[in-house]
Amino acid sequence: PKVQSNAATVRLVVVHNSGTVSLVVVHNSGTISLVVVHNSGTVSLVVVHNSGTVSLVVVHNSGTGRLVVVHNSGTVRLVVVHNSGTGRLVVVHNSGTVRLNEN
């Protein structure tokens, strides 16, 4: 799904077994909370966020994980658990705090 929102809070929970998960989130200000649990295949996340808080939790078992976060100001919290395959993470962040926990 593509989520385009100017609301204060965007919360997405995706539980997916196999195949491809592709998420594009464009959000102006406030809070984005994403939880993606995916077993095998491809996970592709693109988050464009202006200000506030981005919180991402990605649990991915095998395959390919691609995560792109473009964030202007505020806080970015990322937790990525990836078992096997390829994980790519790109974070573009202007000011504030970036926290990354990766296994």
Spell out the domain ranges in the chain. 2-102
Is 70 exceeded by the pLDDT of residue 10?
A: yes
Least confident of 5-14, 17-26, 89-98: 5-14
Question: What does pTM read for this prediction?
Answer: 0.84
Per-chain mean pLDDT for the chain: 87
Residue 1 pLDDT exceeds 70 = no
DSSP assignment of the chain equals -EEEE-SSEEEEEEEEEEEEEEEEEEEEEEEEEEEEEEEEEEEEEEEEEEEEEEEEEEEEEEEEEEEEEEEEEEEEEEEEEEEEEEEEEEEEEEEEEEEEEE-
pLDDT digits (tens, 9 = 90+) for 27-38: 888 998 999 999
